[in-house]
């Protein structure tokens, strides 16, 4: 029955009223493929190990108190203007001498130039990571370079469909190019609804790979969750990504809690010249789905076969206020974890290109001049000095968020 009063007709009418940023549900062959996935059971995608995806311990009231506390709220944002590297366009005009260059654009967005190809991870150029233009976590610094000026991109890689990783305005802009999109299962439904042709989608389950030129991209497991609309059906997968070129290998964690599977990913696809590891937006209220800096370092070491090799780039911090911890804490925690492990860190200013296998990997805690210092001041960091930041100062980043102008709401993303 398909008349005006049929259930099918009602679902179609409700779907037509769905706001575009919510994306689209999988249907037809895409949904059939999801149901066949070995990672799909009991009507939802499953994590590699159990994970609570909502604040735990009956602590909703406690969490709310943290968010409204004036002192902690002030520390969740920068105390000054976040610097943005000023010469990104010039620096990425020439190919990297080593064959590998990374440019952290803020949060989890990274442009990776690897063996002659350009890979753009989790691009978010929007002002808010939210379905609404008037509410939700607001960007704390400008994007280092306009998306239209970034140049050609061979493949856009998406880790999962949360708003701080999959941004409607950004995807619509990229849809007008000829780039390929590599995404986890189900995410392709969102992209098609926003104008990306199905022919340019590479939709993968965990441990499936696709090739773009001479790059091999593999969707690897992660411990997280999905969802964009009011009803989260868990019908889109989340993933980390391993990318292998003729000469280099890199890894992007997406969002994930710590789990033993990092060792398996490293054994299968590593060791990596560089890992991009989520170390921000963690909380004791959602310990299973985001890593602390110490856990992020542990994941990096697992991926490298237990040895502090390669370079770790901390991501998923600094750009949006998504958790109760102080704004600078993820950077400080990573600095401490790296020193303890003897691991090489890359600590670029947003937009600062660097070559992980080169001699000039940025390692200065650039955030300290624009953050609220903890009681007692910043800890001593052997071998690291805080130098004058290129592009810093009160006029370095026009339009950056002001202290306290952070998020209307903050939830695990």
Query: Which H, E and C letters describe 153-174, residue by residue?
Result: CCEEECCCCCCCCCCHHHHHHH
Quick check: 342 and 360 in contact, CB under 8 A?
Answer: no
pLDDT grade for 53, boundaries at 50, 70 and 90:
confident
| 404 has a pLDDT exceeding 50 | no
pTM: 0.88
pLDDT grade for 182, boundaries at 50, 70 and 90:
very high
**Which ranges of 47-155 does DSSP label H, i.e. alpha helix?**
60-68, 70-75, 88-91
Of the candidate ranges 49-58, 190-199, 371-380, the one whose mean pLDDT is the lowest: 49-58
Q: Which of the two residues, 56 and 129, has the higher pLDDT score?
A: 129
- Grouping H, G, I as helix, E, B as strand and the rest as coil, residue 45 is strand
Work out the average pLDDT over 75-103: 89
Look over the chain and give the mean of its residue pLDDT values, rounded to a whole number: 87
Q: Which of the two residues, 54 and 190, has the higher pLDDT score?
A: 190
Q: Please tell me the distance from the alpha carbon of residue 270 to that of residue 330, in angstroms, as a whole number.
A: 25
Work out the average pLDDT over 84-100: 86
Torsion over CA: 206, 37, 212, 105 (sign): negative
Residues in the chain: 413
Q: Please tell me the distance from the alpha carbon of residue 340 to that of residue 312, in angstroms, as a whole number.
A: 14
pLDDT grade for 398, boundaries at 50, 70 and 90:
very low
Angle between helices 293-303 and 329-341 (to 10 degrees): 40
| 203 has a pLDDT exceeding 90 | yes
Work out the average pLDDT over 338-348: 97
Residues 6+ apart with CB under 8 A from 342: 308
pLDDT grade for 67, boundaries at 50, 70 and 90:
low
pLDDT grade for 371, boundaries at 50, 70 and 90:
very high
Q: Please tell me the distance from the alpha carbon of residue 319 to that of residue 222, in angstroms, as a whole number.
A: 22
């Amino acid at each position: 029955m398909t008349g005006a009063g049929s259930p099918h007709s009602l679902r179609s009418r409700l779907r037509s009223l769905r706001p575009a940023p919510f994306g689209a549900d999988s249907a037809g062959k895409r949904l059939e493929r999801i149901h066949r996935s070995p990672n799909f059971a009991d009507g939802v995608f499953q994590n590699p190990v159990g994970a609570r995806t909502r604040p735990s311990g009956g602590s909703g009231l406690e969490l709310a108190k943290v968010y409204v506390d004036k002192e902690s709220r002030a520390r969740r944002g920068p105390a000054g203007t976040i610097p943005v590297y000023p010469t990104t366009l010039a620096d990425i005009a020439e190919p990297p001498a080593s064959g590998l260059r990374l440019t952290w654009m803020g949060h989890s967005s990274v442009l990776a130039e690897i063996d002659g190809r350009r890979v753009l991870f989790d691009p978010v150029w929007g002002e808010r990571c939210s379905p609404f233009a008037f509410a939700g976590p607001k960007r704390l610094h400008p994007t280092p370079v306009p998306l239209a000026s970034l140049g050609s991109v061979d493949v856009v890689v998406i880790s999962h469909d949360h708003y701080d990783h999959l941004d409607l305005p950004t995807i619509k802009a990229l849809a007008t190019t000829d780039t390929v999109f590599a995404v986890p299962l189900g995410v392709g439904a969102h992209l098609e609804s926003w104008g990306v042709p199905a022919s340019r989608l590479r939709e993968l389950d965990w441990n499936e790979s696709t090739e773009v030129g001479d790059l091999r991209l593999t969707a690897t497991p992660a411990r997280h969750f999905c969802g964009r609309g009011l009803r989260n059906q868990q019908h889109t997968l989340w993933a980390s990504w391993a990318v292998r070129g003729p000469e280099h290998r890199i890894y992007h964690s997406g969002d994930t809690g710590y789990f033993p599977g990092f060792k398996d990913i490293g054994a299968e696809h590593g060791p990596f010249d560089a890992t991009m590891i989520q170390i921000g937006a963690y909380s004791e209220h959602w310990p299973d789905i985001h890593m602390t800096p110490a856990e992020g370092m542990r994941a990096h070491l697992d991926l490298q076969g237990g040895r502090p090799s390669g370079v770790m780039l901390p991501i998923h911090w600094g750009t949006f206020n998504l958790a109760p911890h102080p704004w600078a804490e993820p950077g400080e925690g990573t600095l401490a974890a790296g020193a303890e492990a003897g691991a090489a860190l890359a600590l670029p200013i947003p937009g600062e290109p660097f070559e992980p296998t080169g001699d000039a990997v940025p390692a200065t805690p650039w955030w300290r001049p624009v953050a609220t210092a903890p009681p007692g001041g910043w800890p001593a960091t052997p071998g690291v000095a805080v130098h004058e930041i290129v592009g810093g100062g009160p006029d370095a980043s026009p339009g950056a968020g002001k202290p306290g102008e952070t998020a209307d709401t903050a939830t695990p993303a």
